[in-house]
Amino acid sequence: MSTSDYTPKAKAKGKAYWHWNTTKTKLDFPAVIVFCCFFFVFGFLCSSLRSQVSGVRQRGRQLLNSVEYELMGHGKTGDDSISVIPFQVISWRPRAFYFPKFATLEQCQHIINLAKPYLAPSKLALRKGESEGPQDVRTSMGTFLSVSDDPTGVLDAIEEKIAKATKLPRTHYEHFNVLRYELGQKYDSHLDAFPVEQYGPQKSQRVATFLVYLSEVEGGGETAFPFENGLNMDGSYDFKKCIGLKVKPRIGDGFLFYSLFPNNTIDTASLHTSCPVIKGEKWVVTKWIRDQKDFF
Ligand SMILES: O=C(O)CCC(=O)C(=O)O
């Protein structure tokens, strides 16, 4: 098409014209539609790209105000030393979970060796108006050990593993309480939490208990839950009786149960007992976990 085609005559015929340098190019109607569509799509793509770029910039800015971390691949723990901590659900009332082979045999023996020189008769938490004296409720021997009592790092490793298993922070942990039960020794049914009507107001509450069994027991010595899942709750239960759900100690295994419901009230089904040892000896270490850091 030449310049001479841009004439009133051609215009009158409804033809479109396009200037390209000095040359006039004639475009017919479908070409105009295609042209418009092209610019529309191009504009749309440009604007969405622009908004994506500004979104990324904004997230980048937000990251500057927070902690950046590398996301881990699926199935990875981000921890070189422990990849998984297998467990089994034992009960939902109380919430109780069993961790086979939680500690090694060497770790168990090490904790027993650490505790042995310091064993003394186990004590009870005193209720309002009670005073210390002879009692027949808790007859084991025991001692408290802290992570700093063990320069080899075994207690530190166990405590760290408890934190990973429970997802509850170490800042909320009481010291380890290592216990030895000889023939006939036991701990009658009790709660680890402190009902305010019995113990008065407390600075903090025990949320959960993690036990690590340090020995096998030839007979008896189970940790038992007489009220598990609503059993024996008709008011006739004798607190010295070893009935209900019984967990048999196995050396190295861990056992976690919660004393509180998720709403922080006491789960009465967490009432538990250490059944009398019938044969052999029972060693166990208890870790009580609080709802606050400054618990005493
Ligand atoms: O020895 C056990 O199996 C349980 C210990 C216990 O009940 C406790 O320390 O509160």
Query: Residue holding tokens 């396009």?
Result: 18
Q: What is the pLDDT of residue 132?
A: 86
Give me the helices (H) in the chain, please.
8-12, 29-64, 105-115, 154-166, 196-199
| 81 belongs to a structural domain | no
Q: Which residue has the higher pLDDT, 22 or 26?
A: 26
Among 121, 139, 178, 177, smallest CA distance to 276 is for: 139
By most ligand atoms within 8 Å of CB, the mutation choice from 185, 274, 283 for ligand 1 is 274
Please give the Cα distance from 185 to 144 (Å, whole number): 19
Question: CATH code at 222?
Answer: 2.60.120.620
Evaluate the CA torsion angle 60, 65, 70, 71 in order and state its sign.
negative
Cα(274) to ligand 1 centroid in Å equals 6
* Closest C-alpha among 113, 169, 123 to residue 145: 113
7-25 pLDDT per residue, tens: 334 333 433 333 334 344 4
284 CB within 6 A, ligand 1:
yes
In a domain, 45, yes or no: yes
257 CB near ligand 1 (under 6 Å): no
User: What rounded mean pLDDT belongs to the chain?
Assistant: 84
Region of poorest pLDDT, from 58-72, 80-94, 163-177, 211-225: 58-72
pLDDT more than 90, % of the chain: 68
Q: Which domain holds residue 53?
A: 3-64
Residues 43 and 161 in one domain: no
Q: What's the rounded Cα separation, in Å, for the pair 139 and 141?
A: 7
pLDDT digits 0-9 by tens, 72-89: 776 666 666 656 899 999
Which atom of ligand 1 lies at the shortest distance from residue 223's CA? 3
Cα–Cα distance measured from residue 284 to residue 179, given in angstroms and rounded to the nearest whole number: 5
Distance CA 177, CA 169 (A): 18
Residue 71 lies in a domain: no
Q: Is residue 70 part of a domain?
A: no
Quick check: is 296 in a domain?
Answer: no
29 CA to middle of ligand 1, Å? 89
Question: In this predicted model, which residue has the larger pLDDT, 114 or 133?
Answer: 114
Higher per-residue pLDDT: 47 or 282: 282
Confirm or reject: Cβ of 223 under 6 Å from ligand 1.
Answer: yes
